[in-house]
Amino acid sequence: MEPTPQHKLRGLLIAGTSSVAFGFIPLFTLPLMAIGLRTPSILTYRFLFAALAMFPLLLYKKIDLRLTAREIGVLLSLGLVYIASAMGLQLGYHYMPSGVATVVHFTYPVYVILLMLLFYRQRPTRIMILAILLAFLGVLCLSGLGLEKVDRRFLIGMLIVAPTGLAYASYMVIVNKSVVRTMNNIKLSFYALLACGSGFLVIALFWGGLQGIPSLEAWGLTIALAIIPTVVANITLVEGVKLIGSTMSAILGALEPLTAVVIGFLVFDEVLTPLRLVGILLIILSVLLIALSGRIAYFLKVSHLRKRHR
């Protein structure tokens, strides 16, 4: 059944809200880091508070919380790769502008293509190969291409953040190719957040101990971090995909790095050189090409057939 214009508009607004909400991560994280909270402590509170906030929703919708042994194993794997993704991204904030770090993390669709090729022999199309090349060129532009002086800290940040795209891509592939594929999305998000938060709690205990939240301001920032770019972003993402499909949702996903870049520039006075801006645009373009690859391929095929029958 074709969605009505009202449903499409609602879907666009919801999916856009999800992407913008994800882009708010630096807005709440950087002030907590400035207060003195360490990365494992911040992420422990973020994910455990988010799981706690989602629990009433599970009860309200009467979602069965029972798990099989196979599902538990997969969820633990999801927790591990999510930990790697979130940890690397936040550690990267210490070394590079948060907006640039978010853009580098946003290369995860490229890694999805590579993982599908490596493990499932799913060959990329020419459009996808072009997207991979654009993403690679974008990362080179961010690193300076030898044309700009890039300090050592920035390069360390690139080395820390670049693998987060691979970690998040692994999360997406595991969800799509495992027993949790048919699991209720809210239930899946709840258990993934719970596993991730529990993992960060263990890391925090070995990383100088779990720090307390020192002030009312820090409490407000922590709760906002757990709710807006975690609970709200995840729930609206699922709802947006249901209303307008994964392609349009992926296109609107470009709002996430753009939001982070704008916040970094306006709120935290992060410097953006012309070459870095080019790199950001190339990476976003590569992701848009991946999202639209099916439609582009169909359009090219139809155009080719029309030329042959003239």
User: pLDDT tens digit string along 171-185?
Assistant: 888 888 888 888 888
d(CA 73, CA 131) in angstroms, rounded, equals 33
CA dihedral angle for residue 101, residue 103, residue 109, residue 114, rounded to 10 degrees: -60
Give the tokens for residue 30: 């950087």
275 band by pLDDT with thresholds 50, 70 and 90: confident
State pTM to two decimals.
0.85
d(CA 248, CA 267) in angstroms, rounded, equals 29
> Which segment of 31-35, 65-69, 131-135 scores lowest on mean pLDDT?
131-135
Distances from the Cα of 13 to the Cα of 8, 185, 248, angstroms: 9, 20, 11
pLDDT value of residue 88:
96
Nearest to 39 by CA among 29, 27, 26: 29
